[in-house]
Amino acid sequence: MKAELSAALVSLFLCTFPVKTQDIVAKLTDAEVKTLIPIMKAEMAGYTKITSGIAGEQDLRYQLFLNIQSGKTDPLSWLKQHSKHILVPPGATYQAACSREVSYRNKFLLENPEEGFKPSAVPTALFTFGKESGLSPENYKKFRENSIGLGDPPIEKIRSVVVDAETFYSGNGFSTDWGMSSGASISFYHPADEGRITGVVTIWDWIINITDDPQINKQCSMPVMGPVLKIEADYKLLDEIFSSPDISKSIDGNTGNSLKKAGITEDRYALVKASLVMARRDSEYPEGIEVPSFEFTPATQEEREIAKTINMMKENALARKSNIEVYNRLRLELNPILDKLEQMMY
164-190 pLDDT tens trace: 999 999 999 999 998 765 567 899 999
Residue-level pLDDT at 106: 63
Distance CA 34, CA 38 (A): 8
Distance CA 19, CA 32 (A): 27
27-71 pLDDT tens trace: 999 999 999 999 999 988 888 887 777 777 888 888 999 999 999
Q: Is the model's pLDDT at 268 over the cut of 70?
A: yes
User: Across all residues in the chain, what is the average pLDDT?
Assistant: 81
3-state secondary structure the chain: CHHHHHHHHHHHHHHHCCCCHHHCCCCCCHHHHHHHHHHHHHHHHHHHHHHHHHHHHHHHHHHHHHHHHHCCCCHHHHHHHCCCCCCCCCCCEECHHHHHHHHHCCCCCCCEHHHCECCCCCCEEEEECCCCCCCCHHHHHHHHHCCCCCCCHHHHHHHHHHHHHHHHHHHCCCEEEECCCCCCEEEEECHHHCCCEEEEEECCHHHHHCCCCHHHHHHCCCCCCCCEEEEEECHHHHHHHHCCCCCHHHHHHHHHHHHHHHCCCHHHHHHHHHHHHHHHHHHHCHHHCCCCCCCCCCCCHHHHHHHHHHHHHHHHHHHHHHHHHHHHHHHHHHHHHHHHHHHHHC
129 pLDDT band, cuts 50/70/90, is confident
With b for 16 or more beta-carbon neighbours within 10 A and e for fewer, the 264-286 pattern comes to beeeebeebbbbbbbbbebeeee
Q: Is the model's pLDDT at 93 over the cut of 50?
A: yes
Residue-level pLDDT at 141: 66
Residue-level pLDDT at 247: 67
Specify the range with the lowest mean pLDDT, choosing from 128-132, 236-240, 305-309: 128-132
Specify the range with the lowest mean pLDDT, choosing from 15-19, 130-134, 169-173, 240-244: 15-19
